[in-house]
Structure 1
Amino acid sequence: MRQEQEREVGEPAAVRSWLRLRTPGDRARLVLASALMLFVELALIRWTSSNNLYLVHMTNFVLLASFLGIGLGFLRARAGRDLFPLGPVLLATLVAFVLAFPVRTGTGRGGQWRLIGMFDWAPLPRWLSLSVIFALTVATLMALAQEVARTFARFEPLEAYRLDVVGSLTGIACFAALSFLRLPPLGWGLVAAAVFVVLLGRRLLSPWRGPVIALAVLVLLLGTESLVGSFQWSPYYKIHTTQLAGGMFRVEVNNTPLQTALPVADIRRDSPFYLYPYTYAGSRDDVLVIGAGTGNDVAVALAQGAKRVDAVEIDPAIMQLGRDHHPDRPYSDPRVTTHVDDGRAFMERTDRRYDLILLALPDSATIVTGQSALRLENYLFTTQALKRARALLKPGGTFAMYNYYEPWLLDRYANTVRTVYDAAPCVQLGPSYGPRQQAVLTLRKDASTGGCTTTWSPRTTALEPSVDDRPFPYLGTRTIPSFYLWMLGLVLLASTVAVRTVAGPLRTMRPYVDLFFMGAAFLLLETKNVVQFALLFGTTWAVNAAVFAGVLLSVLAAIEVARRVTIPRPILLYAALLAALAAAWLIPQDALLNLSLVPRFLAGVSIAFAPIFIANLLFAVRFKGAGSSTVAFGANLLGAMVGGALEYLALIFGFNTLLVVVALLYGAALLTGRKHLVHPRV
């Protein structure tokens, strides 16, 4: 009680009044505000990257901005000014900026692809575009988080945390439902606007009409984007189609060209490299096409005499476009069985054997989530994936992969094939398009080339193959690209300045430095689980949503245990956590992949969520005794931001090494929070 009194000394009377008073509707308000905050965060991560190609490979850029904004909002819980009415204004400004200054792929002189902006003008410089998006994202989430924090402070810490997690689960469920329904951003905007209206309540009636106007502008902008321009929205992409002569059509996703649906007659004439995999193949009765897209490769397989084709495509909207509009209608052929699934996950689950397996231009334009460096197809190109593909071939069967490769990437993939088969693959080259060249790699199950005499030899030093623990085929060496380092350095510097400016001296968070380390560790632990489940069950949006929901359910379970059970020696939780992390680090991923689906699920859940539960139980026990729940929670969120920066260590050392970093961070939390373990508050 003395700490509570000391905490309120010097606070304005108006602030102290809302800290003391709690209305019957505050529980619902906290759940709703938390749901809105997470919903907007997820929507911004998804939507900004679909309009700005600078963000396609920036992985967790918007996530870092969101964590900073939420942390600042919690640190400003006791500030006199109410920021929440600014939330709609800031969000509408961010949406307007991204739409006014898009970054997309277009053609310049000589037909070369380049980045362009609105009206084919040059785009804003990358540093300027990203800086504005970062600042507006931080400001938007700070306004939303302050609303959460002010209600959060009216409850006991664990009760507030529990309600916040329930709200976060609600936000995830809502966004997952909209993804399932394939609703465009207009649907997202209407949901957000409706929740804003409910939470703002009487504040909408104030003389300042900014929030009302901003919500109208937000819905208008997103509605215009959704209804004008022939866009559709899948769970992964903003998709734009252009109808061409002869029934052909071109597909663009997230502002970059993906593929053109062509009849087989045109493919034979203009794109013969689609036929190269069949040149030295034996039988082609049973064919597996991974990356089936709109159906070109399936149509070619049928024309080559396939009696059965399993067509695997991760995006349901793109496959539906092929089903409805491809000139040859390959998906309507009774010999074709379609599978909307992740290609690696399909290979791990199927027990069929094939005469020909094709990795057919599987080149996504998006990442798995806003919280990892994985693209949707990364796990297709590891040595473990190619070994699995080889195991699925019939005797005499052929493996083939093709795309438009830069020379160094072709060397990496060819070396991966050579590593798996212990023989150099056949390489067939097509025309060049700028730095990229059409290329097809083929090899039979018995490591023969089927008569092909043009086998691969490295042009330079062969690059090491990708593996499941470090699935980054597009990264030439074990390094963090210099632009990422500059970006992370500037983000952390800007964050330090922002925290100091918005929240005052950093020493106000000194009592909660252990919670800061816990936040950094937990973000890395969550990232490791996202990529682990992507490997075990696929990189689909449904798997990712389920993982995030599972993490929050584990958090909720830990909170309930901490509320009901007094743990006399919290230090033992650190020992249990270390044991769980060691088990997760020691158990090889291959061992889990070799299990059938149900045992794999049970083992994966046990290994992944045991440390998450223990870590959150440790946090809940510590948070239960926090003198200022909002400052403590803000420190934890800012720690999560640092964890997001440390995530890039996986580019050098692999994802399993993140568990070592997690253990070190929890060790730092133990050292800085020792006094709370000796005499925990109850």
Structure 2
Amino acid sequence: MKLTDSGQKVSSVRWRLVLASTTMLFVELALIRWAGANVVHLSYFSNFILLGSFLGIGIGFLIPAARGQWLKRWTPIPLALLVIFVRAYPVQVRQSSSEVIYFTAVKTTGLPQWVTLPAIFLLTAVIMAGIGKITADLFRQLPSLDAYRYDLLGSITGSVSFAVLSWLRAPSVVWGVLAAVALLILGGRRNTLFYGVPLAAMVAALFLETTTAGISWSPYYKIELKSSPTTTRTFYISANGVPHQSTAPLPVLMRENSPYRQAYDQTPSNPHKRVLIIGAGNGNDVAVALAHGAERVDAVEIDPRLQEIGAQLHPARPYDDPRVHVHIDDGRAFLERTNAKYDLIILALPDSLTLVSGASNLRLESYLFTRQAFEAARDHLTPDGAFAMYNYYRKSWLVDRFAGDLDDLYGHAPA
């Protein structure tokens, strides 16, 4: 019986360690993504939450086993406080700003940045210290190599599970429920009530966010959709608190000097029969291509939710047209895989508003703005084809850099 009991205890510790490590990585990734979706600074400086997590996990592992038990019991409280605090004091870009300078033209709801950001950092560190302490105490109950093995298994499980939920576009309340259940299991029966109240408050706050009209999640963003107060045919799309896209009726898109029609105005002899649009978004560029007589439009958009919004709400209904072929894909990857030739290729305002990882300054669209990407576009043009790109570049040095690359690759300066 003693051997059996000992084996069962070891097995229980192993799987609790897997759950603790899974929870640690899952909560860390959820905080990085969720905080960045509600506090615009953190979309661009995701290392901020990452460093707070590392600090907290390190503290949790450094505390000796016989000390700091209070930290484990209090873990759900700072987690609930962080969620409620961020929901109460989000930071967004001002909708009325003509200059998208993300860290000055922001809209807060009561607290200055020098209060909001340190509070988030400290709460993150305390949360992760508590989960780290739970993990460390289980870690010490096993032989080192055995503990490392199950800790690694849990880390991989936490990372993969959150990636799958993001890919499935699960809302934030799902993340909260899963984290709450895991913490309740790890807290044990004695702490059920002490854990249950703050965790219920956290889930309730995330439930209110999830059920707010116009809020949805894509694999990349928290999407907020609002209708125009002046017309029922225009919708404004914000991503992670930043004004991102808007739908517009075709007459508005076709106005003189509209950026959507300049590629066609500049190439009057081009037949524009086959058009590739990279960054098709909600469909404005697609609608303009169809209006100019395109016989086939390949619309490439990396974010499925943005394309869905266009398919459902764009007044011109461009995605309903049988001439349009939608590709939910990265633009550079699409160029590398296709053998098609196009009369016109448009790099249509790709702006991901988010970093690829917290360890770099690369954004999702960074690889579209390289000499290799411009060359790939050139190789997919018909003999009389044209390549167009537009964006709010703002800085002359950036315009000069792109213009220089295009001049070298295409043999003449851009129009």
TM score, norm. by length of structure 2 = 0.91
- Is the CA contact 1:241–1:249 (under 8 Å) kept in the aligned structure 2? yes
The alignment status of 1:138 with 2:122, answered yes or no, reads no
- Is the CA contact 1:313–1:339 (under 8 Å) kept in the aligned structure 2? yes
Per-residue CA deviations over 1:593-643 (Å, capped at 9, x if unaligned) read xxxxxxxxxxxxxxxxxxxxxxxxxxxxxxxxxxxxxxxxxxxxxxxxxxx
CA distance in 1 between counterparts of 2:99 and 2:263 reads 28
Tell me which residue corresponds to 2:351.
363
Tell me which residue corresponds to 1:263.
249
Cα offset, 1:321, TM superposition: 0.6
CA distance in 1 between counterparts of 2:147 and 2:371 reads 46
Tell me which residue corresponds to 1:233.
217
The alignment of Structure 1 onto Structure 2 pairs a total of residues equal to: 398
* SS, match of residue 72 in structure 2: coil
* SS, match of residue 237 in structure 2: strand
Cα offset, 1:183, TM superposition: 1.4
CA distance in 1 between counterparts of 2:72 and 2:280 reads 46
Please identify runs of 4+ aligned residues in structure 1 that moved more than 4 A: 110-113
C-alpha RMSD of the superposition = 1.9
Cα offset, 1:48, TM superposition: 0.6
Tell me which residue corresponds to 1:28.
15
Q: Of 317, 320, 339, which aligns to 1:351? A: 339
The alignment status of 1:275 with 2:261, answered yes or no, reads yes
Q: Which amino acid aligns with 2:412?
A: A
Percent identical across equivalent pairs? 47
Tell me which residue corresponds to 1:115.
106
Distance 1:231-1:152 versus aligned 2 partners, 3 A rule: same
Cα offset, 1:387, TM superposition: 1.0
Alignment of 1:570-649 (within 5 A): none
CA distance in 1 between counterparts of 2:278 and 2:362 reads 18
Tell me which residue corresponds to 1:63.
50
Q: Of 184, 204, 228, which aligns to 1:220? A: 204
CA distance in 1 between counterparts of 2:47 and 2:373 reads 26
The alignment status of 1:301 with 2:289, answered yes or no, reads yes
Cα offset, 1:93, TM superposition: 1.2
Alignment of 1:558-569 (within 5 A): none
CA distance in 1 between counterparts of 2:244 and 2:143 reads 52
Cα offset, 1:373, TM superposition: 1.6
Distance 1:161-1:268 versus aligned 2 partners, 3 A rule: same
Cα offset, 1:144, TM superposition: 0.3
CA distance in 1 between counterparts of 2:405 and 2:43 reads 26
Tell me which residue corresponds to 1:555.
none
Cα offset, 1:353, TM superposition: 1.2
Per-residue CA deviations over 1:151-183 (Å, capped at 9, x if unaligned) read 111112111111011111221232123223211
Q: Of 390, 396, 406, which aligns to 1:417? A: 406
Cα offset, 1:422, TM superposition: 4.1
Cα offset, 1:418, TM superposition: 2.2
The alignment status of 1:381 with 2:365, answered yes or no, reads no
CA distance in 2 between counterparts of 1:59 and 1:221 reads 22
- Is the CA contact 1:63–1:371 (under 8 Å) kept in the aligned structure 2? no
Alignment of 1:272-351 (within 5 A): 272-281=258-267, 282-351=270-339
- Is the CA contact 1:85–1:203 (under 8 Å) kept in the aligned structure 2? no
Distance 1:130-1:307 versus aligned 2 partners, 3 A rule: same
* SS, match of residue 368 in structure 1: coil
Q: Which amino acid aligns with 1:419?
A: D
Distance 1:75-1:22 versus aligned 2 partners, 3 A rule: farther
Distance 1:23-1:302 versus aligned 2 partners, 3 A rule: same
Per-residue CA deviations over 1:91-141 (Å, capped at 9, x if unaligned) read 111112212221101246x866621112xx5x512x432222111111111
Q: Which amino acid aligns with 2:212?
A: V
Structure 2: which 5+ residue stretches go unaligned? 1-7
CA distance in 1 between counterparts of 2:360 and 2:195 reads 34
- Is the CA contact 2:95–2:243 (under 8 Å) kept in the aligned structure 1? no
CA distance in 2 between counterparts of 1:374 and 1:419 reads 24
Per-residue CA deviations over 1:639-658 (Å, capped at 9, x if unaligned) read xxxxxxxxxxxxxxxxxxxx
Per-residue CA deviations over 1:263-290 (Å, capped at 9, x if unaligned) read 2112123762210001232121111101
Cα offset, 1:253, TM superposition: 0.8
CA distance in 1 between counterparts of 2:271 and 2:372 reads 25
CA distance in 2 between counterparts of 1:347 and 1:368 reads 20
Q: Which amino acid aligns with 1:405?
A: Y
Tell me which residue corresponds to 2:157.
170
Distance 1:79-1:349 versus aligned 2 partners, 3 A rule: farther
Specify which structure has the higher proportion of helix: 1
- Is the CA contact 1:290–1:359 (under 8 Å) kept in the aligned structure 2? yes
- Is the CA contact 2:355–2:364 (under 8 Å) kept in the aligned structure 1? yes
- Is the CA contact 2:32–2:46 (under 8 Å) kept in the aligned structure 1? no
Distance 1:61-1:229 versus aligned 2 partners, 3 A rule: same
